[in-house]
Amino acid sequence: MNEDGSLVRLEAIHKWFGALHVLKGIDFAIEPGQVVTIVGPSGSGKSTLLRTINMLEEPTEGKVFFDGREITDIRTDLNKVRTEMGIVFQAFNLFPHKSAVDNITMALEKVLKVASGEAKKRAMEQLEKVGVAEKANAYPEQLSGGQQQRVAIARALAMKPKLMLFDEVTSALDPELIKEVLDAIKKLAEEGMTMAIVTHEMSFAREVGTRALFMDDGVIIEDGAPEDIFSNPSDERTRSFLSHVL
Amino acid sequence: MSATATREAVAETPPDTRGPTAREPMAILITGWVSIGAAIGGTLLLQLLQALAGPQVTQECVAEGVERDFTGAGGVCNILEAFRSRAQTIVLLLAIITGVSAIVAGFWRYRHMPSKRMREQCIAGAVLGVQGLIVALALLWVRQAELGTFVRVFFNIEVLEGYGGAFLQGARNTLLLAFAGEIGGIILGLVMAMLVLSKRRVVRAPARVYINFFRGTPLVWQLLVFYFGLALGLNLDVGAFQVAIIVFSLNTGAYAAEVFRAGIQSIEKGQMDAARSLGMSYMQAMRYSIVPQAVRRVIPPLMNEFVILIKDTALVIVLGLLASEYDLLSVAREGYSATFNSTFFVAAAVGYLAVTLPLIRLVNWVESRLRSGLTGVVGQ
């Protein structure tokens, strides 16, 4: 935890991609146990914001604190920090040359130095949990999109992270496969995992989130309880966005 | 295998959309085959029959400039005799007549064919006719010339007698040079590719200089300078053969570096994201995720490089190799120097092809496996 009791704190984050100003001063914190859903139009900076939390995107300006450390400090061992937070991507990003179970054991063995037998056991536990244990020895190309994404979730969970980040994890899925992935995330939320979820699934954001952020044009416009933001948005931009997607 | 099994299980085969055939297109196709078959197969068959009859030196043969008393005169005469025979004339005329018939009938009729299969048979017959006609006309044209010297110099198989062991040793050395050079090159290339992909200019620059230098200068120049310039000039204790392996490694390394670089860059960016997000360092991500995938992707281009290297090893001919270190081409030159007969070079070509043709087939097979999906070559 950080000094203020939060798990993650972002201070005055700015991100430039060349001449493009993507994040324009982000300040916010995630408390342990919170499930924060982040919605907003495409190009609003949601994914970039999520990726600055585990420093896959290095902020151009500003500080990120995670669990009592300033991880934007160049002396911080980011590899160590990243083992404590998992991320799941839109494109799954499973290792195509490894079976489902080996996708999970790789980082356990090579990074956390878990013995191979124990790693396998932990991997199977996680696969069991997301309901793809019977596909443990299948290669990613032999799995459906929904199965791949659930393996990706299991891969992140096996590291026993303190925080999970979800980056539009259902956007690349066929409609009939979305539910199985959302259900896996819901189960995690029920277990009390701290999470930040960027999503286009509004009803899911509302249902699973304990807190919602609405972003537009690189800034956080609304931050509050999901019921308030989805039913009773205070900002005109939020209203306009929600009227288009709901 | 499994695909076939499933198909049988549900007893479902795709319908034959190519349609039936008929006598006419069949006749055109067969005519085409007769043309090419007579031109190539007939000629070879006549050569074989003559060779089986045993060597004999005839008057006509002597008249064409083949002297009676050199090694292999009988064999040379056999080739000439068969090629000059009346049977050969008939074979070539047959090839020309059937070739022209197939061309005329095939190209004229194919538009009128009622099914795809018949149309394709007409076209195939016509194309085979063209090929048969070209080969037959070329052979006829060659027959015009005086061939005694030509055949004696290039196709006197008997002069090769006693060189079998040397050629085998040469093939072994050629493969040794190529394999050693390729292995050295792959290791060097992978390291250089990693350096060239560094985000730090001080790391990139020397690797870039190395790659550009070895890609930018002729291989034969590199061999000459490294051997005569460095090894002999600096009085180093290395032989020409070792220098050749080093130069082939350095040269292949430069090309392999570019192949690996392209392969690594072709891996989706998400793979690096995924590996880093699990706490792997950049080097771990490269080692466990990126490079294993890239290596599979670059197998075909690397094998192509290997085929090229096999042929390039012939350049060691410019170095002073020991007789035991001779490669295929050096052996051929040695034989040529002793006999002034170029059949040795034909034999060397056969030697190179014996190695490269299967390898080329293998490359094509691997490529098609890789294209058809990740499993198989990539999966396990």
Span A89-104, pLDDT tens digits: 999 999 999 999 999 9
Q: Which residue of A has its CA nearest to B279?
A: A79
Mind listing the pLDDT tens digit for each residue in B326-354?
999 999 999 999 988 999 999 999 999 99
Region B52-58: mean pLDDT is 81
Is B9 part of a structural domain of the chain? Answer: no
Is B83 part of a structural domain of the chain? Answer: yes
Subunit contact A79:B273, Cβ cutoff 8 A: no
Q: Which residue of A has its CA nearest to B289?
A: A95
Mind listing the pLDDT tens digit for each residue in B171-193?
999 999 999 999 999 999 999 99
Please report the pLDDT score of residue B161 as a whole number: 86
Q: Which residue of B has its CA nearest to A80?
A: B279
Please report the pLDDT score of residue B372 as a whole number: 59
Same domain for B156 and B190: no
Q: Which residue of A has its CA nearest to B288?
A: A106
Subunit contact B277:A139, Cβ cutoff 8 A: no
Q: Which residue of B has its CA nearest to A55?
A: B277
Residue A246 CA to residue A128 CA, distance in Å, equals 34
Q: Which residues pair with B330 in a beta bridge?
A: none
Please report the pLDDT score of residue B6 as a whole number: 47
Please report the pLDDT score of residue B231 as a whole number: 86
Please report the pLDDT score of residue A197 as a whole number: 95
Instruction: Give the number of A-B residue pairs with CB atoms closer than 8 Å.
Output: 73
Look at chain B and report how many structural domains it folds into: 2
Is B302 part of a structural domain of the chain? Answer: yes
Residue B345 CA to residue B339 CA, distance in Å, equals 12
Residues of chain B with Cβ-Cβ distance to A92 below 8 Å are 270
- Give Cβ neighbours of residue B231 (< 8 Å, ≥ 6 apart): B238, B240, B243
Backbone angles phi, psi at A23, to 5 degrees: -115, 125
Same domain for B231 and B206: yes
Q: Domain end: B108, B128, B160, which one? A: B160
Same domain for B139 and B172: no
Is B8 part of a structural domain of the chain? Answer: no
Subunit contact B277:A79, Cβ cutoff 8 A: no
Are residues B185 and B249 in contact, defined by beta-carbon separation less than 8 angstroms? yes
Residues of chain A with Cβ-Cβ distance to B379 below 8 Å are 97, 139
Of B376 and B90, which is predicted with more confidence?
B90
Structure tokens at B11: 């007893």
Region B225-238: mean pLDDT is 90
* pLDDT tier at B9, thresholds 50, 70, 90: low
Of B371 and A15, which is predicted with more confidence?
A15
Residues of chain A with Cβ-Cβ distance to B378 below 8 Å are 96-97
Subunit contact A97:B293, Cβ cutoff 8 A: yes
Q: In chain A, which stretches have pLDDT less than 50?
A: none
pLDDT at residue B235 tops 90: no
Subunit contact A95:B271, Cβ cutoff 8 A: yes
Q: How far is CA B314 from CA A110, B223, B285, B319, in A?
A: 45, 11, 40, 10
Q: Domain end: B102, B126, B160, which one? A: B160
Same domain for B173 and B144: no
Is B2 part of a structural domain of the chain? Answer: no
In this structure, the strands spanning A61-66 and A211-216 are unpaired
* pLDDT tier at B158, thresholds 50, 70, 90: confident
Q: How far is CA B161 from CA A79, B72, B164, B175, B344, in A?
A: 68, 10, 7, 23, 10
Backbone angles phi, psi at B124, to 5 degrees: -60, -40
Are residues A36 and A211 in contact, defined by beta-carbon separation less than 8 angstroms? yes
Region B141-170: mean pLDDT is 88
pLDDT at residue B3 tops 90: no
Subunit contact B273:A141, Cβ cutoff 8 A: no
Is B143 part of a structural domain of the chain? Answer: yes
Residue A3 CA to residue A65 CA, distance in Å, equals 10
Of A76 and B15, which is predicted with more confidence?
A76
Subunit contact B278:A82, Cβ cutoff 8 A: yes
Q: Domain end: B113, B144, B160, which one? A: B160
Of B276, B375, B378, the CB nearest to A82: B276
Same domain for B271 and B177: yes
* pLDDT tier at B377, thresholds 50, 70, 90: very low
Are residues B32 and B123 in contact, defined by beta-carbon separation less than 8 angstroms? no
Lowest average pLDDT, out of B10-14, B295-299, B321-325, goes to: B10-14
Residue B287 CA to residue B268 CA, distance in Å, equals 15
Residue B307 CA to residue B179 CA, distance in Å, equals 10
Same domain for B351 and B235: yes
Same domain for B324 and B296: yes
Subunit contact B270:A89, Cβ cutoff 8 A: yes
Subunit contact A56:B274, Cβ cutoff 8 A: no
Same domain for B112 and B73: yes
Please report the pLDDT score of residue B2 as a whole number: 44
* Interface residues on B facing A, Cβ-Cβ cutoff 8 A: 268, 270-271, 273-281, 284, 288-289, 292-293, 296, 373-375, 378-379
| Torsion-angle region of B62 (φ positive above 0: left; ψ -120 to 50: alpha; else: beta) | alpha
A159 touches chain B (CB under 8 A): yes
Question: Complex ipTM, two decimals?
Answer: 0.94
Please report the pLDDT score of residue B205 as a whole number: 97
The pLDDT > 70 percentage for chain A reads: 100
Please report the pLDDT score of residue B68 as a whole number: 65
Is B340 part of a structural domain of the chain? Answer: yes
Same domain for B339 and B238: yes
Please report the pLDDT score of residue A229 as a whole number: 87
Please report the pLDDT score of residue B10 as a whole number: 57
Classified as helix, coil or strand, A37 is strand
State the residue range of the domain holding B155: 20-160
Same domain for B181 and B124: no
Please report the pLDDT score of residue B12 as a whole number: 72
Same domain for B227 and B306: yes
Same domain for B295 and B185: yes
